A and B are shown apart, each in its own frame.
Chain A
Amino acid sequence: MAGKIDPMHQFMVEPLFGTEHWAIGGYNIAFTNSALFMVVTLVLLWIFMLGGMKGQLSALFMVVTLVLLWIFMLGGMKGQLVPGRWQAAVEGFTGFVSNMMEANIGPKGKAFTPYVFSLFMFILIANMVGMFPLGVIPGLHAFTVTSHLTITGVLAIVSFSIVLIVGFLRHGFHFFSLFVPHGTPVPMIPLIFVIELFSFMIRPFSLGLRLFVAMTAGHILLKVLAGFVINGFNAGPGIALIVSLPSFLLMIGISVLELLVCAIQAYVFALLTSLYLNDAINLH
């Protein structure tokens, strides 16, 4: 059998465009495929948002006016009172996130809606881009940004830092009352405090780990099945009929399931961030 199919190869981070020796202060800052796909995610997000936005380009975006004007005309939207299709799509997402913040935090949560929205959209689009079948073009393969703990971990740490900062700014040391629920019997307080503190400190890990593992697991599963398909074809027509065909049908079903997981994981990340913010803002 020629060449074993390695399902882990898709997660390899490789420097692109000959930047592998770029460094600042001894730290390598090569432009990797991970960075490339983060840029792709951001560009797609900008296109999506600008396509549904009001008529003026802000000063920040003037730098890339040429591209954006073209995108803008493509979107053909001018922030109508009665939204068109594109604007309705954008407003669907913004409304979804602001409803979630309203339901989980209440009116005080409005200030954090932009952060949670950015988080949700970035994760959602990064997940979707990773599922995009770029592999049909020879020499290209899609890279899932969120299948690396470094990236999801940083997102989780940012969320957790915001929770800590907001909590201590709003409540000072009274924030520690988060670890002692109301009505705890006095002899139980030390034990409950330790347990609550532990469950609080483990949050960034579970937040980052969940997204990273869910994406990694799905992509490994798809590649393992793809390996079955190819090896089955190599083994002859009889085996191909028994192994390759069912594997391929299963792959189609699992791809659909993975698209669902992409959306659910983005939603769960945003939902848990808003719940943790709720703890910090309203205590309990």
Chain B
Amino acid sequence: MDPAAAKLLGAGLAAIGVGMAALGVGNVFGSFLQGALRNPGAADGQQGRLFIGFAAAELLGLLAFVVAMILLFVA
């Protein structure tokens, strides 16, 4: 396969990872809302944990984005 074409295909495949991270981030906020609506009194105390979970889920998607960018512009 032409190396340039392989790079573009690889970048496109890496973009799937970004979509997967979207599932993860949605799951974090969705689960938080489910819990928060059941017990609104405890919700405010858990905002720190909400954003830790968000940060962890988002980081993995951003890594996929970095792979795509490296394939497109660096490698």
Binding site for B on A (CB under 8 A): 8, 100, 103-104, 206, 209-210, 213-214, 216-217, 264, 267-268, 271-272, 275
Contacts and interface: CB of A to CB of B under 8 A. Distances in A.
Interface residues of B, number: 13
A137 to B, nearest CB: 28
Contact of B55 (A103, A104, A268): A268
A118 B66 CA distance: 28
B48 A214 contact: no
A132 B19 CA distance: 28
A104 B48 contact: yes
Interface in B31-75: 48, 51-52, 54-55, 58-59, 62-63, 65-66, 69, 73
SS class of chain B's interface: helix, strand, loop or mixed? helix
A103 B49 CA distance: 11
A106 B58 CA distance: 27
Contacts of A216: 69
B34 to A, nearest CB: 21
B58 A210 contact: yes
Nearest to A268: B55
Contacts of B69: 216
B66 A275 contact: no
Nearest to A211: B62
24 contacts: A8-B73, A100-B48, A103-B48, A209-B59, A209-B62, A209-B66, A210-B58, A210-B62, A213-B62, A213-B63, A213-B65, A213-B66, A216-B69, A264-B51, A264-B54, A267-B51, A268-B51, A268-B54, A268-B55, A271-B48, A271-B51, A271-B52, A271-B55, A272-B55
A271 B69 CA distance: 27
Chain A interface secondary structure, helix, strand, loop or mixed? helix
A2 B48 CA distance: 49
B18 to A, nearest CB: 8
Nearest to A275: B52
B60 to A, nearest CB: 10
Contacts of A104: 48
A65 B66 CA distance: 45
Contact of A214 (B51, B52, B62): B62
B65 A210 contact: no
Contacts of A206: 59
B48 A272 contact: no
A100 B52 CA distance: 13
Contacts of B66: 209, 213
B73 A214 contact: no
A268 B25 CA distance: 14
A8 B51 CA distance: 29
